[in-house]
Amino acid sequence: MPDSFFDEQHRMFRDSMRKFVEREIVPFHSQWEQDGVVPRELWRKAGENGFLCLQAPEAYGGMGLKDYRYNMIPIEELVRAGASGPGFAVHSDIVAPYIIHYGSEEQKNRYLPKMVRGECIGAIAMTEPDTGSDLAAVRTTAVREGEGYLLNGQKTFITNGLLNDVIIVVAKTDTDASHKGISLFLVDSGTKGYERGAKLKKVGMHAQDTAEAFFKDVYLPAESLLGQEGCGFLYLMQLLPQERLVASVAAVMACETVLDITVQYCKERTAFGRPIGKFQHNRFKLAEMKTETEIARVFLNHCVLLHNEGELNGEKAAMVKWWTTELQKRVVDTCVQLHGGYGYMMEYFVAKAYVDSRVQTIYAGTTEIMKEIIGRSMGF
């Protein structure tokens, strides 16, 4: 990545994060993959070291950073290490911003300090068994009940689905109003009627606790409403660009990391008396991946700087998300091929990257939805 994009403060922060990952995560990650979850203690350690909720204002225990380049660093260092288990990005870059931007003072004081410290783990529940990209079609409802709401419904594919202490739930408060009837609610762990499903068995990311959630006659007081009633869809649209940056940052770092490993492998692995990278076909493939990955990095960095200025719109965010994640899929697949049979062995980094990468073109908005957003922005 270009050194000029990050300054000395960023590099110091990266050095601290890298040492944390190497010390607290890498030696244990394979066991966490077998367990299907990372320990809560890891979250507290990450909080103690200042790696969570970087955008939280100082008044709530955070650093109040408005430079998204800092947010990139924990994502990149986890990807670089092949550590797909810790759901830090969902907690810090997706859940916390909703509370920061739309939460009441009471909600900010209640959740943000503990989220910064890693004592309160956040999750968000959007997707339903029958509803994915079309958020206006969610069936979970929050009906007025006295001074509060009665929440009923089911959600799935929830990152931090088992560990969460608070979960943002997307629900319909007006079933006749399409997207204008959507509201967001903060639901605490242990609330009567809120039950977690079993951990979902995924193709990859085995240490990440992805689960379902069930809400049956969950009574929520009025202060559980996040922001204004009926504004949930607007809030989601306003913060989705940052969510898509999360996926894009991970995608570009995955391309760079896997490509570096594959280049070294192609220098060391021999066939017919010479390194396999010396064969023109392989050399051309490596050259193509190197070029496309550098292009992706430049575009990503451009989008991050736009985001810092508050100018990253939905269309541009869709562009960087679909381009970088589709590139990740192609690059990792090609690198598996260049590794030959070893690329199919899970003890090799490239094999794990292969199964962990596949979901990237699906969550945070599928490639097809990203193209639809871009096409509509062109007037079609």
**Token reading at 218:** 């969950």
Question: Sign (positive/negative) of CA torsion 224, 228, 231, 237?
Answer: negative
Whether 230 and 174 have beta carbons less than 8 Å apart is answered as yes
Query: Which residues are CB-neighbours of 161 under 8 A, at least 6 positions away?
Result: 123, 196, 197, 199, 200, 209, 210, 211, 212, 213
Per-residue burial over 142-169, b = 16 or more CB atoms within 10 Å of its CB, e = otherwise: beeeeebbbbbbbbbbbbbbbbbbbbbb
Whether 48 and 111 have beta carbons less than 8 Å apart is answered as no
Three-state secondary structure along 237-283?
A: HHHHHHHHHHHHHHHHHHHHHHHHHHHHHHHHCEECCEEHHHCHHHH
**Token reading at 290:** 């190197």
Measured between alpha carbons, how far is 329 from 178 in angstroms, rounded to an integer?
34
* Helices within the chain (DSSP H only): 8-24, 29-35, 40-48, 68-80, 88-89, 96-102, 105-117, 232-268, 280-308, 314-339, 349-357, 367-377
Please list the active-site residues.
243
Whether 24 and 42 have beta carbons less than 8 Å apart is answered as yes
Measured between alpha carbons, how far is 312 from 310 in angstroms, rounded to an integer?
6
Whether 148 and 221 have beta carbons less than 8 Å apart is answered as yes
122-125 and 166-172 as β-strands: parallel, antiparallel, unpaired? Answer: parallel
